Chain A
Amino acid sequence: MRGGRESGNPADDQWSSRIGLTVNGGGHDLTLDNRTTLLDALRERLGLTGSKKGCDHGQCGSCTVLLDGRRVKSCLILAVTLDGREVTTVEGLAGPDGLSPLQAAFVAHDAFQCGYCTPGQLCSARGMLDEVTRDWPSAVTGDLDGPVELTDAEVRERMSGNLCRCAAYPNIVTAIRAAAAAR
Chain B
Amino acid sequence: MRAFRYHRPADVTEAVALLDADPEAAYLGGGTNLVDLMKLGVQRPGLLVDVTGLPLDTVEPGPDGGLRIGATVRNSDLAARPLVRRDYPLLARALLDAASGQVRNMATTGGNLLQRTRCAYFQDTAKACNKREPGTGCAALHGQNRELAILGWSERCVATHPSDLAVALVALDAVAEVREPDGPRDVRLTELHRTPGHHPERETTLPRGALITAVRVPPLPFARRSTYLKVRDRAAFAFAVGSVAAALDLDGDVVRDVRLAYGAVAHRPWRAYRAEELLRGRPITAELAAQAADAELAAARPLRHNGFKVPLIRNLTVRALTGLAGSVRP
The residues of A with any CB-CB pair to B shorter than 8 Å are: 1, 4, 14-15, 17, 33-35, 37, 56-59, 61, 64, 67, 70-73, 76-78, 80-81, 124, 127-128, 131, 134-139, 141, 144-145, 156-162
Contact = CB atoms under 8 A, between A and B. Distances in A.
B6 A144 contact: no
Interface stretch (B31-39, B127-135, B316-324): B31-39
B175 interface: no
Contact of A77 (B3, B35, B93): B35
B35 A76 contact: yes
Nearest to A136: B80
Contacts of A35: 1, 3-4
Given A35-B1, A137-B96, A161-B237, A64 B102 contact: yes
A57 B48 CA distance: 19
Contacts of B50: 81
Contacts of B86: 144-145
A124 B96 contact: no
A39 B99 CA distance: 20
Given A137-B96, A161-B102, A77 B4 contact: no
Interface in B92-114: 92-93, 96-97, 99-103, 105-106
Interface in B39-92: 39, 48, 50, 52, 76, 79-80, 82, 85-86, 89, 92
A127 B101 contact: yes
B36 A57 contact: yes
Nearest to B5: A14
A161 B237 CA distance: 7
B199 interface: no
B101 A131 contact: yes
Interface residues of B, number: 36
A156 B6 contact: no
Contact of B4 (A1, A15, A81, A161): A15
A136 B262 CA distance: 26
A71 B102 contact: yes
Which 9 interchain pairs have the tightest Cβ spacing? Answer: A161-B100, A160-B236, A144-B85, A160-B237, A139-B96, A34-B6, A136-B80, A15-B3, A70-B105
B28 interface: yes
A107 to B, nearest CB: 23
B79 A73 contact: no
A161 B79 contact: no
B105 A72 contact: yes
Contacts of B256: none
Given A78-B6, A144-B86, A144-B92, A61 B39 contact: no
22 contacts: A4-B5, A35-B3, A58-B36, A72-B102, A72-B105, A73-B32, A73-B103, A77-B35, A77-B106, A78-B28, A78-B48, A80-B6, A81-B52, A134-B80, A136-B79, A137-B96, A139-B96, A144-B86, A144-B93, A145-B82, A145-B86, A161-B100
B79 A137 contact: yes
B105 A71 contact: yes
Given A73-B106, A81-B28, A139-B96, A161 B101 contact: yes
Given A71-B105, A127-B105, A157-B235, 19 more contacts: A57-B36, A57-B39, A58-B102, A58-B103, A61-B102, A71-B101, A73-B32, A76-B106, A81-B31, A124-B102, A127-B101, A127-B102, A128-B101, A157-B236, A158-B101, A160-B235, A160-B236, A160-B237, A161-B103
B139 to A, nearest CB: 21
A77 to B, nearest CB: 6
Interface string B213-247: 00000000000000000000001110000000000
Given A80-B6, A134-B80, A136-B76, A37 B35 contact: yes
A59 B35 CA distance: 13
Most B-side CB within 10 Å, residue of A14, A17, A56: A14
Contacts of A145: 82, 85-86
Contacts of B80: 134-137
B304 to A, nearest CB: 27
Contacts of A136: 76, 79-80
Contacts of A131: 76, 101
B188 interface: no
B106 A72 contact: yes
Nearest to B230: A139
A17 B7 CA distance: 9
Contact of B8 (A1, A57, A67, A139): A1
A17 B6 contact: yes
